[in-house]
Structure 1
């Protein structure tokens, strides 16, 4: 259980660290990525970007 928590924590740290780099490459602005304001706060749900990154990670994992 603790191993999975460490993996999830490290994945979140890496995603937050690579987020500005991925936004420069166009991730986060794809059709299907949702941005809206709710109660004065901007919410962002990157559906399409998440699917593309998951597919890339699965392809890399399959070849390794």
Structure 2
């Protein structure tokens, strides 16, 4: 169980670091991705982008299986 938390935490760090690069391709700005400003900070909840990236990862995993 701790291994899964570690994997999820590392993936969040990786995705957060490459998010500016992904925004050039439209990931993070899809319909269903919420952005809001609260107390002077910008927050993003990329629901649609997460689903899209998960499906892409699933397809890649299926191809290499």
TM-score by length of 1: 0.78
RMSD: 1.6
* Separation of aligned partners in 2, 1:18 and 1:42: 17
How many residues are treated as equivalent by the alignment?
A: 64
Question: After TM superposition, what 4+ stretches of structure 1 lie above 4 angstroms from structure 2?
Answer: none
Structure 2 stretches of 5 or more lacking a match? Answer: none
TM-score, length-scaled by structure 2:
0.77
Give the match for residue 15 of structure 2.
15
